Chain A
Amino acid sequence: MELKTKSLKELYEKDFYLWVQENLKLLKNKEFELVDWENLLEEIEDMAKRHFESVISYMAVIMEHLYKWEKFRENEYMGSHWKKSINTARMQIADLFDDNPSLRRVAQEKDSLNKAWKRAVRRLIVWFDEDENKNLAKKYFGRLPTEEDFPKDCPYTFEQVMEYKPWLEEIRENTETPQP
C-alpha cells in the first residue's frame, strides 16, 4: 500500500494528468488511505490561493496608479490611462468579491495590503526605469528610485483602494477656485 502511494507521489511530477485521474478514482472508491494527500491538499489549496493572488495583484495595480496620480502627475494630460487601470482593476475585484465574499475580509488584513503595496512599489520602480519616464525619475529622485524611496507600509486603507478617486478631488479643487 505504501509503495502504491509512493509511486502515485512520483506520478505527480511525471504525469500530472494521470495523477489527477488516479487520485480521482481512489477518492470515488473511498480508498482514502491510498490518495496522495500531500500533493492533493496543495492543489486544492491552490484553487483558493489563486483567487487571493488575483485580489492582491489587482490591489497592487490600483495602489500603483493612485500613487502615481497623487505624486507624479505633472499635468492634466497625464493619467487617463491610470484612471482606466484603476477602474478596471476595481471592477475585477468587485466580481471576485461577489463570488467569494470571504476574500473581502482577507483583502482588508494588514498583511494583504502590505503585500499588495510591495508589489505596487516594484511596479513603480520599473515604471521609472522606462525610457519615457527617465526625466521624471531624475526630477523626483535625482536617479532611479529604489524601494527605500517609497513608504515601507501601505499608505492606503482598504476603503481608499476600493473607492478613492483622486480625479474627483481635482474637479472639486477647480470648482472651489474663486472666479475672478
Chain B
Amino acid sequence: MELKTKSLKELYEKDFYLWVLENLKLLKNKEYELVDWENLLEEIEYMARKELRSVISLMAVIMEHLYKWENYRESAYMGSGWKKSILNARKELIDLFDEMPSLKRIAQEKESLNKAWRRAVNSLITWFKEEEDLAQKYFGRFPTEEDFPKECPYTFEQIMEYEPWI
C-alpha cells in the first residue's frame, strides 16, 4: 500500500494528467488511505490561492495608477489610460467579490494591501525605466523601492472608490 502511494507521488511530477485521474478513482472508491494527500491538498489549496492572487494583482494595478495620477500627472493629456486601467480592475474585483464574498474580507487585511502595494511599486519602477525624462525630473535618476512609501498609502475604500479625476 505504501509503495502504491509512493509511486503515485512520483506520478505527480511525471504525468500530472494521469495523477489526477488515479487520485480521482481512489477518492470515488473511498480508498482514502491510498490518495497522494500531500500533493492533492496543495492542488486544492491552489484553487483558492489563485483567486486571492487575482485580487492582489488587480489591487496592485489600481494602486499603481492612483499613485501615478496623484504624483506624476503632468498635464490634462495624461492619464486617460490610467483611468481606464483603474476602472477595469475595479469592475473585475467587484465580480470576484460577488462570487467570493470571503475574499473581500481578506483583501482588506493589512497584509494583502501591503502585498499589493509592493507589486504596485515594482510596476512603478518598471514604468519609470521607460519614462526616462520623468524619472530624471522626479528623482534625478531611476527610482528604487526606497523612493516610494514602505507601507501601502491607500485604504481598501480608496482602492475601491477613490476617483482622483473628480
- Are A and B associated in one complex? yes
Chain A interface (Cβ within 8 Å of chain B)?
14-18, 20-21, 23-24, 27-28, 30, 32, 37, 40-41, 43-45, 47-48, 51-52, 99-103, 106
Alpha-carbon separation in the docked complex, A20 to B102 (Å): 11
CB-contact partner of B101 in A14, A20, A41, A99, under 8 A? A14
The answer, yes or no, to whether B161 is at the interface (CB within 8 Å) is: no
> A45–B17 contact, CB under 8 A?
no
Number of chain B residues whose Cβ lies closer than 8 Å to a Cβ of chain A = 29
Interface of chain A, helix or strand or loop or mixed? helix
**Which residues of chain B are within 8 angstroms of A43 by Cβ–Cβ distance?**
44, 47
Q: What are the residues of chain B within 8 A of A47 when measuring CB–CB?
A: 16, 20, 43
Q: Please name the residue on chain A nearest to B37 by beta carbon.
A: A27
**Smallest Cβ-Cβ distance to A99: which chain B residue:** B16
Question: What separation, in Å, do the CA atoms of A118 and B131 have in the docked complex?
Answer: 48
Chain B residues 1 to 55 lying within 8 A of chain A, measured CB to CB, are 14-18, 20-21, 23-24, 27-28, 30, 32, 37, 40-41, 43-45, 47-48, 51-52
In the complex formed, the residue of B with least CB distance to A103 is B17
A27 partner, pick from B23, B28, B44, B100, beta carbons under 8 A: B44
Q: Indicate if the CB atoms of A24 and B45 lie closer than 8 Å.
A: yes
> Is B17's CB under 8 angstroms from A16's CB?
no
B99 at the interface (CB under 8 A from A): yes
